[in-house]
Structure 1
């Protein structure tokens, strides 16, 4: 029997049949939130981290569902890693969604919150500029060269005011020391790097567990921290096998745990995505809620929840 290669017509027909089902799957995955558990020695129990909500009309129901799931976990504290908006807003009425959070919330801003690097070309330019025009060492940290004429600081100020009104405390190059259960935690919020606004505060030496919140992982430094939390990448959003392997080997840093001079950095896949024709699409890269040192009660909630649990082990 002689097997003929498929004709161009047959291939085109196959693609036309496959494409809608693939798009449907990627749209489903874009809303299929996982809970990622991190076990970190010395960290307080029950802390939740989310990032990149990009709240807009087309995804506000999804953000509300994420908040409901966070509330079901009854966290001691919620940390949010920036990119609250798309950068195209005329007002911030949608940020009222955060009023429904049942736990104290602390956050930093992201590049969309300053309206910088929000398309492919300018994003690539910012990525390159971090490598060529900045100093991201703890001793000489300086990203001010990125604060150019495109940075909309007034937009970020207005967004910050709206977030504060709705219960989210925004740390802009500041830190707080707060109780979490029977323990304490120091949260250091570094303002957005791509906007050139990052100017890490001087933090007194302490034995208290210290978390640095930063939006872009490439703008982190070798700070005296116990944990660095970042977002921005959406985990790659379309994590095809080759890209996933590059991430696993640390060639690129898109999602998961990496080390910065012995300090673990966790890069979250975020809870929402850049949309295609108004639809959040993902592949092999589901949105996530990060849960640090879960309590027994939280583990029971996860066990009975429709939200899948992804265990990542000890950091």
Structure 2
């Protein structure tokens, strides 16, 4: 007959299991943040290879990783490189670290993100996290969420960052468009300035070339003339655990991958860096470089599954009636 462990031993056994789980999970989060995945997105009409990345959050302890990203970008031989904002980690960062982008062997265009303006969601701690989640859900369903944004916006800091980026070969688009050569044709890039900073506006008279919209926060309902919309900001959820996966699968949030706004493809990258911790930690949301290649139709890593998307579209149609 088997004997039960004495209660003190049961507690010690449980403590060992919890400690092992904590150490293993922390190690896995550190490992995930240090790896790099290249995701391929094929889009009909793309005139040449384009590389897209976002959320580098450059600081001294991830600068070597950023240099490795630049090396991988150059090895891909893109016609064009696009960066979707959040270059910095927080106010007071050493902006000279942004020199890393000067090593890219292709034209580079970018938009700014909320960290680049020191702008965010009102509140801190649990209050801020809840407000952030509510803002994303409401924004994705076309509600005006400007009341959630903080009242502070450091335009001077953004201007200083833009000057450093321009000095290092990065052209920053702030509610403006430009047509540039890529591969065998032209691409019109439309850069929408940061939404959380309250600076977003859609420029007028965008020409009819293959048109890519870039906006840091993934808002995509305003751009009917786009052929492709690119966003970042979400970090892929950063900790892509089951609750986030479920919310993503039913369309309440969008953490990363390929989605659709009608017939317009929207790609939200998991980005490169993190912004919640002094060190890089991710779980199930590996840092990502996105390669956009010419192809037939549109294909790439999926966001909302088609069945869930169709179901939600049906619900919206019923509600509209």
Instruction: Provide TM-score, normalisation by structure 1.
Output: 0.83
Of 298, 301, 310, 1:312 maps to 301
Change (3 A) 1:245 1:68: same
What is the SS of the residue equivalent to 1:271? coil
Partners of 1:117 and 1:123 within 8 A in 2: no
What is the SS of the residue equivalent to 2:213? strand
Partners of 1:130 and 1:218 within 8 A in 2: no
Aligned to 1:263: 264
2: CA distance between counterparts of 1:205 and 1:54? 32
Aligned to 1:170: 172
Aligned pair 1:56/2:59, yes or no? yes
Which deviates more from structure 2 when the two are superposed, residues 123-132 or residues 6-15?
123-132
Change (3 A) 1:47 1:4: farther
Greater helix share, 1 or 2?
A: 2
Aligned to 2:235: 234
Instruction: Provide TM-score, normalisation by structure 2.
Output: 0.82
Partners of 2:140 and 2:253 within 8 A in 1: no
Deviations 1:120-169 (A, max 9, x none): 555654665677799969xxxx8877786411111101111110001100
1: CA distance between counterparts of 2:168 and 2:213? 23
2: CA distance between counterparts of 1:219 and 1:154? 27
Of 92, 98, 120, 2:101 maps to 98
2: CA distance between counterparts of 1:122 and 1:203? 38
Q: For the pair shown, which has the larger CA radius of gyration, 1 or 2?
A: 2
Q: How does 1:273-284 map to 2 (within 5 A)?
A: 273-276=274-277, 278-284=278-284
2: CA distance between counterparts of 1:46 and 1:154? 34
What is the SS of the residue equivalent to 1:211? strand
Aligned pair 1:243/2:256, yes or no? no
* Shift of residue 8, structure 1, vs aligned partner: 3.1
Q: How does 1:201-240 map to 2 (within 5 A)?
A: 201-206=203-208, 208-218=209-219, 221-240=222-241
Change (3 A) 1:267 1:215: same
Partners of 1:81 and 1:214 within 8 A in 2: yes
Deviations 1:38-79 (A, max 9, x none): 011111221000000000011111111111111111111000
Return 5+ residue gaps in structure 1 as ranges. 296-309
2: CA distance between counterparts of 1:169 and 1:56? 21
What is the SS of the residue equivalent to 1:59? helix
2: CA distance between counterparts of 1:52 and 1:254? 14
RMSD: 3.0
Aligned pair 1:47/2:50, yes or no? yes
Partners of 2:117 and 2:158 within 8 A in 1: yes
What is the SS of the residue equivalent to 2:301? strand
2: CA distance between counterparts of 1:91 and 1:284? 30
Aligned to 1:300: none
1: CA distance between counterparts of 2:245 and 2:185? 37
Which deviates more from structure 2 when the two are superposed, residues 19-28 or residues 155-164?
19-28
* Shift of residue 232, structure 1, vs aligned partner: 0.2
Aligned length in residues: 294
